[in-house]
Amino acid sequence: MRNDLLRTTLTSFFVFCLLCLPASAFAVDDIRQEKTMPEGGKAVLTFDTPLLTMTETPFTVELIGSTGKILADAAVSLSLVMPDMAMPLNNPKAIWLKDAYHGTAIFTMAGEWQAILIVQRPGHDLVELTFKLGEVLMK
């Protein structure tokens, strides 16, 4: 009787571990994505750490003009959205520091997320670029 209980417990634990393994095995270590901006040049969005729920996750945005010049005059923010459902507004700002715009994101739920990069430069049209971030995993 006692042995059965132990076996059941161990089996459950083993199955639980098997279920957990695939998610952690495929966690993305970092994300660096580039998009071309409408007026030329490019925007680069980088997350240096894996994307986990309820975790302060630093990100950087680099803006490079069509002539290769680094653009430091923009107001930059992300709009973090889940494509499959309505979520509360989640729009972290990114502040210019040294050579890029830096901000902190918090993903409030596990699943598929996108970051819409919003760039407003003086004298230019508002730019919105959508980056697919893939799966954010449970912390």
Cβ distance to Cu ion smaller for residue 28 or 110? 110
d(CA 29, CA 36): 24
DSSP for 24-88 reads HHT--S-EEEEEE-TTSSEEEEEE-S--BBTS-EEEEEEEE-TTSPBP---EEEEEEEBTTB---
Residues 23-62, mask of contacts with Cu ion (x by CB under 5 A):
----------------------------------------
CB of 103 to Cu ion, least distance (A): 20
Q: Is residue 110 involved in binding Cu ion (CB under 5 A)?
A: no
- Cβ distance to Cu ion smaller for residue 52 or 87: 87
Site membership for Cu ion, residue 85 (CB under 5 A): yes
Of 64, 82, 110, 116, the one binding Cu ion by CB under 5 A:
82
Task: Return the closest-CA partner of residue 61 out of 49, 51, 75.
Answer: 75
Report which residue type is found at 127: V
Residues that bind Cu ion (CB under 5 A): 82, 85, 87, 109
